[in-house]
Chain A
Amino acid sequence: GENVEQHPSTLSVQEGDSAVIKCTYSDSASNYFPWYKQELGKRPQLIIDIRSNVGEKKDQRIAVTLNKTAKHFSLHITETQPEDSAVYFCAARNSGGSNYKLTFGKGTLLTVNP
């Protein structure tokens, strides 16, 4: 089955700096890669996603890049703000049949210091 590794497990940055979180996946058939943000005690919320036919996607201060050959994808947050502090999860989903199973990484605790 799919295995997703996420690094780093914790990340602390100063407000205004950039933050980068990296994930690798094992199943070359995976074709959908979402990123979720989970604030303490709250539900995971999708912040950005990318499909395997695209190499990069950007939404305001957030961008995701995908390298299918190397089987890794990254989340980039620019001009970080204190409200960006949360746990971020990457995930991967393969294209097999009607099984839309997401495999999640273990998460990165991002702390943005004012």
Chain B
Amino acid sequence: EAGVAQSPRYKIIEKRQSVAFWCNPISGHATLYWYQQILGQGPKLLIQFQNNGVVDDSQLPKDRFSAERLKGVDSTLKIQPAKLEDSAVYLCASSLVTQRGSYEQYFGPGTRLTVT
């Protein structure tokens, strides 16, 4: 089966500019996650969607970050305006929801963002 797709793979922007990332999860996966992975650290969850509804966005800096999953499939994550500390890899992941709960998360290749 096809994996999680993300684009772009790399992005360099200046601080205060805006940027958007796109994710296409594995077909049939109801749950979609956006993670931020700063160099040398583990992924940190920014937002979780179940279909097109937000389940958890407690760690999303809502003053500058926004995300949507309008039709319950693809998702976009936007940063406006970007700060230097936003430099990181942004990972999208998806998982199935089963009767026993959602378990394995499949990650996309990530978007490496550099803010200068």
Contact = CB atoms under 8 A, between A and B. Distances in A.
Interface stretch (A14-22, A60-68, A99-107): A99-107
Given A99-B56, A101-B56, A45 B107 contact: yes
Contacts, number: 59
Contacts of A32: 101, 103
Chain A interface size, as a band, is 20 to 34
Chain B contact surface mostly? loop
Given A43-B108, A98-B55, A100-B101, A107 B40 contact: yes
A46 B105 contact: yes
Closest 10 CB pairs of A and B: A104-B42, A100-B102, A43-B107, A89-B42, A44-B107, A43-B109, A99-B56, A104-B43, A106-B42, A107-B42
Interface of A: 1, 4, 6, 32, 34, 36, 42-46, 49, 89, 91, 95, 98-107
8 contacts: A34-B105, A46-B106, A89-B43, A99-B48, A100-B31, A102-B43, A104-B42, A104-B43
A49 B106 CA distance: 13
B87 interface: no
A48 to B, nearest CB: 11
A36 to B, nearest CB: 8
B28 to A, nearest CB: 16
B55 A99 contact: yes
